Structure 1
Amino acid sequence: MKHIDNNGRRSRAIIANGTIFMGGQVADDLSADITEQTRQTLARIETLLTENGSDKTKMVSAQIWLKSMDDYAAMNAVWDQWINADGAPTRACGVVEMADPRILVEIIPTAIL
């Protein structure tokens, strides 16, 4: 098992048995709107995947947390442009109270190597 970016409380990701399990990924700029936060979050996911020998076509699932379902359509517009439509992962999307009220979207992906 390989821990990626472990800070003693959490690992950004763990590789085990040919699978990359990621913690929740959020945008860097929390003052941005939902469109930009979604773009930044997906870019962060893509970087983690690439750095660890995978890519978005190998995502098997994604949990998406939104601060408000009012952002669902805007988030989906960015997601739909980013994801491989012919090989989209399983997905769930719901509303949660975020750890930081500026976070509008958090995505928790799982991918194979």
Structure 2
Amino acid sequence: MTDIKRFDTDLRMSQAVVHAQTVYLAGQCGTAHAPIDVQTREALAKVDHHLAAVGSDKTWLLTVTIWLVSIVDYDAVNTVWDAWMPPGAAPARSCGEVQIGGDGYDIEIICTAALP
């Protein structure tokens, strides 16, 4: 039986869960009410942080889902994403427009990665 390891856990959720060499991250957001490029950079920095904490990194990303409050922000988010993502390491990715819980949050990034 494979163990499940949970990281940065509180009553509601874990920021990262590892099971069978797969890492699942909770949705990551930046600072509420900040411009979309700032929120995106901060959310991606949290992705980097949580992946590093479990022994992985963005080159091991398998899938990423990006939720935007407004699809109008798509190009601005992609500008930040493209600067962050190493060439040749792009995961399967989807992006859509949704309502996000919490006032002022314009982006949420959810990731699944492998452990090296």
Q: Same fold (TM over 0.5)?
A: yes
* 2:88 counterpart SS class: helix
Name the aligned partner's letter for residue 61 of structure 1. Answer: T
1:101 aligned partner = 103
**Map 1:1-113 → 2, pairs under 5 A:** 1-27=4-30, 29-113=31-115
* Structure 1, unpaired ranges of 5+: none
Report the more deviating stretch, 57-66 or 4-13: 4-13
Determine the C-alpha separation between the residues in 1 that align with 2:87 and 2:66.
17
Moved over 2 A (4+): none
For normalisation by structure 2, the TM-score amounts to: 0.93
Q: Which runs of 5+ in 2 are unaligned?
A: none
Amino acid at match of 1:18: Q
User: Partners of 1:8 and 1:24 in 2: how far apart?
Assistant: 16
CA displacement at 1:60 relative to structure 2: 0.6
| Percent identical residues | 40
Q: Which amino acid aligns with 1:5?
A: D
Cα shift readout 1:13-64 (whole Å, capped 9, x = no counterpart): 100001110110111x212100000000000000111111000000011000
TM-score by length of structure 1 reads 0.95
Which whole-Å CA distance do the structure 2 matches of 1:22 and 1:50 have between them? Answer: 12
